[in-house]
Copies of this chain bind each other. A is one copy, B any other.
Amino acid sequence: MKKMIVASTSTIFGNGYLEYLLPTLKIHFKDIKELLFIPFARPGGISYDEYTALVKKSFATIHIAVKGIHEFENAKVAILSAEGIFTGGGNTFELLNQLYKKDVLYVLKQVLENGTPYLGTSAGSNICGIDMMNTNDMPIVYPPSFKTLGCIPFNINAHYLDPIKNSTHMGESRETRIKEFHVFHNTPVLGLREGSWLAVKGEKIMLQGKHKARFFKQNKKPLELESGVEVVV
């Protein structure tokens, strides 16, 4: 049975790294001594070691050790034997590129379906959907495919932003971009605002955190889902 937390962001404004999620993670990862961290998304291009050190520091406060997947000889074995897994944010293109390169996407899906507790933030959440076609990231590398884990039956738009009032900038809003996506595809898309997350238990997906989420379906008016409700496609 899936046990996943799929969060919009690692960090909310004015807080430390993962700080707002720690009470939830303490319960989600209870009984876990060591967490496997996947640092492939490299936010700001930082190294795997630097990124893992940051994550170690946060999880130390709830007494969980952290080991980066790059510290293992065999990435597949690392995933198969992990007590719990966290994929951090950064660039979704590079994250997915590395998951394909290391040929671990399928094995990651397998262990998540079988119940290894998971945390994703930002890019690490984008990969939980059907494909990564609703990321906000820059395509700085070309992955072999945009197909992702498919552990939830819709796509995530992390860091969802409402149109900025009185903006004079002519770039497209998130809503416009997601509507463009729906010209080509019928996969639903959940716009997750910073501070919100999904708690996935088996096939049940609950919206948690302090914000509503905006749910886009092809040829339908977007819905505002309240925190605490089940997300049903």
Contacts and interface: CB of A to CB of B under 8 A. Distances in A.
Interface residues of A, number: 44
B168 A13 contact: yes
Contacts of A150: none
A232 interface: no
B44 A179 contact: yes
Contacts of A182: 45
Contact of A134 (B134, B138, B141, B168): B138
Contacts of A161: 169, 171
B138 A42 contact: no
A70 B135 CA distance: 30
Interface in A96-146: 132-142, 145-146
A137 B135 CA distance: 9
Contacts of A43: 172, 180
Given A90-B180, A170-B194, 9 more contacts: A12-B170, A14-B168, A42-B180, A43-B172, A44-B179, A91-B180, A133-B140, A140-B184, A142-B146
